[in-house]
Amino acid sequence: MTSASRIKDQIVAALSHPEAEDGLYFNNLIVVHEEEERPIVQGEEAEIRRVLSQLVKERVVVTSGSGDGEIFRLKVATVN
């Protein structure tokens, strides 16, 4: 498994976790406190940001806010 695909899987797992229901700041993806149970995303910050940007372009992940206040969440599928 390539590093990028491993990071992609980790991002999706972290954002799928119930603790991420309202989304996560970038820092919450790479730092998980002792009392938190969601998986951590491991890798170089630049590579994680690159993969996260790709997931946004693919519309797997959506964002709100900007800069340090940007929140990432999985796109919710709509049923017609």
| CA–CA separation, 46 and 16 (whole Å) | 22
Question: What is this structure's pTM?
Answer: 0.87
Tens digits of per-residue pLDDT, 8-29?
Answer: 999 999 999 998 999 999 999 9
| CA–CA separation, 22 and 7 (whole Å) | 21
Tens digits of per-residue pLDDT, 66-79?
Answer: 888 899 999 975 45
Q: Tell me, what's the pLDDT at 1?
A: 66
% of the chain exceeding 70 in pLDDT: 94
Give the number of other Cβ atoms within 10 Å of residue 42's Cβ.
12
Q: Do the beta carbons of residue 15 and residue 73 sit within 8 Å? A: yes
What mean pLDDT comes out for the span 54-69? 92
Q: Tell me, what's the pLDDT at 77?
A: 59
Structural domains in the chain, CATH included, are 3-74 (1.10.10.10)
**DSSP helix/strand/coil, 61:** strand
